[in-house]
Amino acid sequence: MAALAPGTVANLGPGFDVLGLAIEGLGDVVIAEKSVEPGVRLTSIEGDDGRLPRETSANTAGIAAAAVLRLSGLDIGVELSLKKGLPLCSGLGSSASSAVAAAFAVNRLIGNPLRKSELIGPCLEAEERVSGRHADNVAPALLGGLVLVRSVDPPDLIRLPLPPDLTIVLATPDFELPTREARAVLPDTVPLTTMVSQSAQIASLVSACYSGDLSLLSRCLLDPVVTPVRAPLIPGADAAMQAALGAGALGSSISGAGPSIFALCRSERSAQAAAQVMVAAFQDAGLAASIHLSQVNCPGVRVVDPEATGFPR
């Protein structure tokens, strides 16, 4: 059983830890197979340059898979093969994608005893082990589209509609920013006026999603709390965001913990224009950057053909 979980853009501007968006064309694949030996074993990882832990208890794929078996009450053996399609420490939900793909694949392998919504718990358990207990990556990777996380404990996830034809640009510089480092700079407190502004931006974003008001959407992709303290950690980030806005993007901010920068655009043509100037901004800062374009209303985790994954059989 093989499953693909997409990469994600978390926070989406003002929605720190509460908003996440699935993207197409990037993601992790997990193949799950039954084995004689009880428990979960991670037998192979591709695409990580040997950097990820092979121990089940230290890898998000293994942690989520084991949690699915425990929650299902089954004492069987499962072997996992993980193929990383997402770069590490990129701000694109790499650890969450592995967890979601593994949880979904194992659940399908054992006959779907858990509903899709029930897989959020095992995925959260995995994320908590490596980057904190937040669902803004695992929720869209699981459900697809744009998801609002109203609550983590208990999980309460709301799929939001999206205006049609929007394209998101992802510019990923050749620079790693571990999530723990990005979280270490976050303020412990924020002024009341800042909290009010942040709340207004999130509320306006939800309204824009339901109304399809692109003018409103462009005015509320602002983050007065997290982006100002994280952007200095990423060479060229501020310049890339400003360049995207100058090229006509509706809004631009840091994807997740960074260093990837996203720009939300009205069309693919507008996205291409934003992509060019974002790459140039990172080049001016001494960094090469890769570009990925995606539609915004993308599916979440799904079954894929094992023969098309590139794994040796």
Please say if the pLDDT value at position 84 is more than 80.
yes
The two three-digit tokens of residue 25, written as one number: 């064309």
Encode pLDDT of 105-128 as tens digits.
999 999 999 999 999 999 999 999
pLDDT of residue 311: 46
With tokens 């967890």, the residue in question is 99
Q: Which of 167, 172, 179, 309 is catalytic?
A: 179
| Catalytic residue check, 167 | no
CA pseudo-torsion sign 136, 142, 143, 146: positive
pLDDT of residue 179: 83
> How confident is the model over 132-141, as a mean pLDDT?
94
pLDDT of residue 164: 86
Domains of the chain, start order: 2-160+298-307 (3.30.230.10), 167-295 (3.30.70.890)
pLDDT of residue 104: 98
Distances (CA, A) of 28 to 82, 167, 189, 204: 7, 21, 35, 32
Q: Which of 127, 167, 227, 309 is catalytic?
A: 127
> How confident is the model over 23-48, as a mean pLDDT?
93
The lowest-confidence range among 48-57, 66-75, 231-240 is: 48-57
pLDDT of residue 310: 52
pLDDT of residue 309: 58
pLDDT of residue 312: 41
Q: Give the count of beta carbons closer than 10 Å to the beta carbon of residue 41.
A: 16
As a three-state string, the secondary structure of 192-241 is: HHHHHHHHHHHHHHHHHHHHCCHHHHHHHCCCCCCHHHHHHHCCCHHHHH
| Catalytic residue check, 127 | yes
CA pseudo-torsion sign 261, 265, 269, 274: negative
Q: What percent of the chain has pLDDT over 70?
A: 98
Encode pLDDT of 249-269 as tens digits.
999 999 999 999 999 999 999
Q: Sorting pLDDT into bands at 50, 70 and 90, what band is 132? A: confident
Encode pLDDT of 148-201 as tens digits.
999 999 999 999 999 888 999 999 999 988 888 888 999 999 999 999 999 999
Give the mean pLDDT of the chain. 94
